[in-house]
Amino acid sequence: MELIKEVFGEIKLIKLDTFQDERGSFSETFRADKLSKFGINDTFVQENQSISFKNVIRGLHLQYSPKQAKLIRIVKGTAKFIELDFRPGFTFGMHSEFTINDTDNILLWVPFGFANGFLSLSDELIINYKVTNYWNKDGEIVIKYNSPELKINWQTDNPILSDKDLNGYSFSEFQQHILPKINF
């Protein structure tokens, strides 16, 4: 494993080692000892799989109670990820963008303090991700993907969204009503 990029001092892109021969390829997709070299020492308690079609946007999601971090890997397809920083400090409200596909063989580490969202750029997108705490509906919120103050270019004019994502908080509503409840 190799750390290839770090953003906001916390988000990490990690390249997995791939071994190829005439039969195909092999990768270790998770190794706690190697991840600890990059400061990822969290315990993962749940693994999820998301399957999306082209132009689906999921997010921006965050779970604050209990605090949840994510280790994301694309199994099939290509996605544009948006990671929105909601930690107090200089980079609050800023976001980073990553386009990752299945052939990149990348892990994306999203610690607590960031809202995660993605757009499927392929006809079928399969994402697996490990999380550090169990899902809690009452401790999760959605920030609207198109909150004007965020100025995110999603690169799609016709996104497909769930009702949950359509009815999320604007970023300013999040700052006013939710952020004060979050314990960092």
pLDDT tens, N- to C-terminus, the chain (184 residues): 999 999 999 999 999 999 999 999 999 999 999 999 999 999 999 999 999 999 999 999 999 999 999 999 999 999 999 999 999 999 999 999 999 999 999 999 999 999 999 999 999 999 999 999 999 999 999 999 999 999 999 999 999 999 999 999 999 999 999 999 898 8
Phi, psi of 93 (to 5 degrees): 85, -5
The SS3 assignment for 167 reads coil
The total domain count for the chain is 1
Reading the block at residue 166, the tokens are: 């359509």
pLDDT value at position 102?
96
69 vs 184: CA distance, rounded Å: 13
Length of the chain: 184
Strands 11-15 and 2-7: antiparallel
Reading the block at residue 138, the tokens are: 């009452």
84 vs 115: CA distance, rounded Å: 5
**Is the pTM higher than 0.85?**
yes
145 vs 2: CA distance, rounded Å: 31
pLDDT value at position 126?
98
pLDDT value at position 184?
83
48 vs 6: CA distance, rounded Å: 24
pLDDT value at position 181?
87
Alpha-carbon distance values, 50 to 53, 77, 167 (Å)? 10, 12, 20
- The CATH number given to whatever domain includes residue 53 is 2.60.120.10
Alpha-carbon distance values, 100 to 6, 27, 52 (Å)? 15, 17, 15
Active site residues: 61, 129
* DSSP bridge pairs for 13: 5, 108
136 vs 138: CA distance, rounded Å: 5
pLDDT value at position 183?
85
pLDDT value at position 80?
98
Which of these, 4, 69, 5, 64, lies nearest to 41 by C-alpha position? 69
* Residue span of the structural domain in which 45 resides: 2-181
pLDDT value at position 34?
97
